[in-house]
């Protein structure tokens, strides 16, 4: 049973390897070539000064027709150029770069670039307007502008100042008579407090009635 399990595992790994190897072989290579130009060299849209550059396909998966020109350590991109496919019959084991024929005095222009051992390469297409001018020469500075001497300005004439208008005169208006002061309202009459009581009167009446009763009794 153990030998059968080991054999099964090995067989499975073999099928996995068979499926992975073609994928690795089909993986495109990021083509890159270091080149040194001893003279100004033209690429579509730019003229490169003499020096060392790196020609590279930055993204072979989605943009196989784009070729970038970088500085030697690939930290700066000078130009990203669109190309068309180029084909060759004779394959070489070295990088092949061909140039277009240009008029005398014009910089060389890269025509085709083939990577080692590849039938297919990259062809650079230029506009019909012709080659770009060579590295721009230093233009002489423009002559200094002649500044005319300043003309003496006439002295300003004193301007007659008009006196300010007199301040407005206030006309005294007759003050209206003062309104009569309001008279205070009379205070309501206050009721005096009652100091006498009714008890003496009642007592006197009682005494008189008692005396009258006694007198009538004696008379009878």
Per-residue pLDDT for 166 more than 50?
Answer: yes
Query: What is d(CA 31, CA 59) in angstroms, rounded to the nearest whole number?
Result: 10
Collapsed DSSP state (helix, strand, coil) of residue 114:
strand
pTM: 0.47
Instruction: Give the highest mean pLDDT range of 88-97, 122-131, 196-205.
Output: 88-97
- Judged on CB neighbours under 10 Å (0-12, 13-18, 19+), 64 is middle
pLDDT at 169: 54
| Mean pLDDT within 159-176 | 61
Q: Which of 23-27, 117-121, 160-164, 198-202 has the lowest mean pLDDT?
A: 23-27
Instruction: Give the highest mean pLDDT range of 105-114, 120-129, 190-199.
Output: 105-114
**Could you tell me where the beta strands, DSSP code E, fall in the chain?**
32-37, 41-43, 46-48, 51-56, 66-70, 77-87, 96-100, 108-114, 120-124
Distinct helix (H) and strand (E) counts, the chain: 2, 9
| Mean pLDDT within 50-70 | 91
pLDDT at 151: 73
pLDDT tens sequence across 123-136: 999 987 654 544 53
pLDDT at 215: 76
Q: In the structure, what pLDDT confidence band is assigned to residue 45 with cuts at 50, 70 and 90?
A: very high
Per-residue pLDDT for 143 more than 70?
Answer: no
Per-residue pLDDT for 158 more than 90?
Answer: no
pLDDT at 220: 64
């Amino acid at each position: 049973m153990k030998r059968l399990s080991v054999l099964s595992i090995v067989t499975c790994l073999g099928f996995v390897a068979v499926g992975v190897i073609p994928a690795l072989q089909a993986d495109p290579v990021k083509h890159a070539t270091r080149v040194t130009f001893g003279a100004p060299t033209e690429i579509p849209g730019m003229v490169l000064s003499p020096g060392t550059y790196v020609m590279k396909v930055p993204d072979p998966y989605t943009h196989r027709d784009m070729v970038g020109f970088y500085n030697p350590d690939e930290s700066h991109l000078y130009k990203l150029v669109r190309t068309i496919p180029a084909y060759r019959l004779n394959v070489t084991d070295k990088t092949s770069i061909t140039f277009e024929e240009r008029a005398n005095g014009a910089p060389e222009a890269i025509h085709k670039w083939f990577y080692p051992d590849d039938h297919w390469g990259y062809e650079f297409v230029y506009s019909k307007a012709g080659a770009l001018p060579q590295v721009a020469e230093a233009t002489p500075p423009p002559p200094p502008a002649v500044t005319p001497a300043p003309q003496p300005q006439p002295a300003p004439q004193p301007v007659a100042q008009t006196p300010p208008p007199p301040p407005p005169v206030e006309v005294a208006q007759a003050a209206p008579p003062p309104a009569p002061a309001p008279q205070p309202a009379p205070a309501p009459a206050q009721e005096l407090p009652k100091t006498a009581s009714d008890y003496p009167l009642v007592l006197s009446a009682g005494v008189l009635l008692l005396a009258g009763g006694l007198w009538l009794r004696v008379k009878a």
